[in-house]
Amino acid sequence: MSSPTICENLQNCSPEANPDLWNHSVSDKTQICEVDSPQGVRLHELPEFDVYVPSSLGEALTYLSGEGRGSRLLAGGTSLVPEMRKTGIRVRKVVDLSGLSDLHYIRRTQNTIRIGGLTTIRELTEAKIFDDRYCCFKELERSFGFVTTRNMATVGGNLAASAEGDLAEILLVLEGRAVIRSAKGERAVGPTNLGLADGELIVEVQFADLKGLVSTWFNKFEKRNEDGKGGIATTTLLKLKNDRSVEDVRIAVSRARWKETGRVRRAESELRGKIANAENVGRALDKLESEIDPAGDYRGSSRFRKEVTKAMVREGLAKCLEKLDRERGESQC
Ligand SMILES: Cc1cc2nc3c(=O)[nH]c(=O)nc-3n(C[C@H](O)[C@H](O)[C@H](O)COP(=O)(O)OP(=O)(O)OC[C@H]3O[C@@H](n4cnc5c(N)ncnc54)[C@H](O)[C@@H]3O)c2cc1C
C-alpha cells in the first residue's frame, strides 16, 4: 500500500473526517467552523479541490502550463493550509509537489551551494554539508516554528509564501538567488520580490559558498506567526582578516523599511575595513538605528522594534566574533 499524500493527510485531519480532533460547531451556510482556541479564531472548512500529484518536475510544469492553469502549489502545506482555513479563499486545483524527489537536495558544486526547492527546513538545519560558517541555518532549529513545522515546511514554500519569512532574510545576507522555472524557461532572481507568476515553480536556491575567516548568525526575538510574518529577526555575516579588521559584513533585519526585510548597508559600510571592536560595532549600530524604520503593530511599537533589532544585531555580531576569534587563536598556535 502506498503512503498517503499530503492532501490525503490534510483531509484526514479535517473536522468531518476526524471530529475528535476538533471542538467546534459547523454552520452549513457559512462553511466556517469555530475552533475552541484561546484566541477564538474562526476557521473556514477546507474547500473541495482537485489534486494533481506529478511525479517529476517536467510533468508538473506541463500540467501547470495547460489544464492546471490557476492551480495552487502545495509543498509542505504549513502556510497554504492555514491561509485557506483563515481566509476561506476558493482553491479549485492543487498541485501536490510531494512526489518531486528530484527537488530534494543540498549540494556543493564548485563554489556554489545549491538547495532544491522541496528541501525541508529540518533537512537544512541538519545538513552535514554546512560547517560552522553556516550557523545561520543551524539556528533555525531553535527558532523556526515547531518540529512538525520544520519537518514539513520547504525552502521553496518559505520564499513563495512571504518575503518576511526567515529564509528570505538569511539569503539576503548570503546574497543568494531563487531559480524559478516554468514551461517557458528559467530565471534567477531575489531572494525577495520574486514576482511569481501562474505556472512558475521555485526549483532551487543558490549562493556562493562561504570561504575564509567568516561566520554567520540568525537571531529571532519572538517566533513569527504561522504565515512567517511579524516577528523580529536579524541575520549577520562577519568576515575578518587575520588582524581582526572587517573584510566583509552583511546585516539583514526584518522590517528594515516598514514591513520589508532588508540589508542595512549604511551600518555595514560603517564597520567594513575597521577593526572589529566594541567601539566600531557601537558606531555601526548607531547608523543602523537611524537607517531602519520598522512598522509597529500589536506586538511592539516601531521604537521598541528598533531597540530590539539593535540589541539582536549586537548579539549576532558578538556571536560571529566569538567564533572567529577562537578560529584565529587556533590558526595562530
Ligand atoms: C506553527 C507555524 C510556525 C511557523 N513558523 C515560521 C517561522 O518561524 N518562520 C517562517 O519563516 N515561517 C514560519 N511559518 C510559515 C511556514 O511554515 C513557512 O512559510 C513554510 O516554509 C512554507 O513552506 P511550505 O512548504 O509549507 O509551503 P506551502 O504552505 O506548501 O506553500 C506556501 C505558498 O508557497 C507556494 N509554493 C510552495 N512551494 C512552492 C514552490 N516550490 N515554488 C513556488 N511556489 C511554491 C504555495 O502555492 C503557497 O502559495 C510557520 C507556520 C506554522 C504553521
| Residue 236, domain CATH | 3.30.390.50
The contacts of residue 306 (CB under 8 Å, 6+ apart) are: 289, 292, 294
Range 47-56 average pLDDT: 93
pLDDT at residue 223 tops 90: no
> Dihedral (C-alpha) 154, 160, 161, 163: value to the nearest 10 degrees?
110
- Per-residue pLDDT band for 89 (boundaries 50, 70, 90) equals confident
Whether the predicted pLDDT of 87 surpasses 90: no
Residue count (the chain): 333
Q: Which residues of 137-172 are buried (b: 16+ CB within 10 A; e: fewer)?
A: bbbbeebbbeeebbebbbbbbbbbbbbbbbbbbbbb
Q: What does the pLDDT look like over 254-277, one tens digit per residue? A: 999 999 999 999 999 999 999 999
Task: Indicate if 107 and 93 belong to the same structural domain.
Answer: no
Kind of pairing between the strands at 293-294 and 246-258 = parallel
Q: What pLDDT is attached to residue 40?
A: 59
Domain boundary among 73, 99, 125: 99
Of the pLDDT bands very low, low, confident and very high (cuts 50, 70, 90), residue 10 is: very low
At 224, which amino acid appears?
A: R
d(C-alpha 23, C-alpha 20), whole Å: 7
Provide the domain limits for residue 224. Answer: 214-332
Q: Answer whether 44's CB lies under 8 Å from 87's CB.
A: yes
Mean pLDDT value across residues 189-203: 95
Buried b / exposed e along 237-254 (16+ C-beta atoms within 10 A) = bbbbeeeeebebbbbbbb
CATH number at residue 159: 3.30.465.10
In a domain, 1, yes or no: no
Reported pTM:
0.89
Return the pLDDT at 44: 85
Looking at the fold, whether 85 and 124 belong to one and the same domain comes out as no
The rounded Å distance from CA 140 to ligand 1 centre is 14
Residues 117 and 200 in one domain: yes
pLDDT of 148 over the 60 cut: yes
Pocket of ligand 1 (CB under 6 A): 72-80, 82, 117, 144-146, 149, 152-154, 156-158, 160-162, 165-166, 196, 201-202, 223-224, 226-228
Give the residue-averaged pLDDT of 288-301: 91
- Structural domain total, the chain: 3
- Mean pLDDT, rounded, for 44-72: 94
Residue 231: Cβ-neighbour burial (10 angstroms; 0-12, 13-18, 19+): middle
When pLDDT is averaged across residues 235-249 and rounded to a whole number, the result is 96
Average pLDDT, the chain: 87
Cis peptide before 15 (omega within 30 of 0): no
Pair 156, 203 in one domain? yes
Given the CA of residue 81, which atom of ligand 1 is nearest to it? 29
- The pLDDT value recorded for residue 295 is 92
| Average pLDDT of the segment spanning 298-311 | 92
Domain identity same for 231 and 328: yes
Same-domain pairing of 95 and 40: yes
Q: Are residues 32 and 136 in the same domain?
A: no
Ligand 1: centre distance to CA 215 (Å): 27
Protein residue with its CA nearest to atom 27 in ligand 1: 157
* 223 and 197 together in one domain: no
Asked if the model's pLDDT at residue 208 lies above 70, the reply is: yes
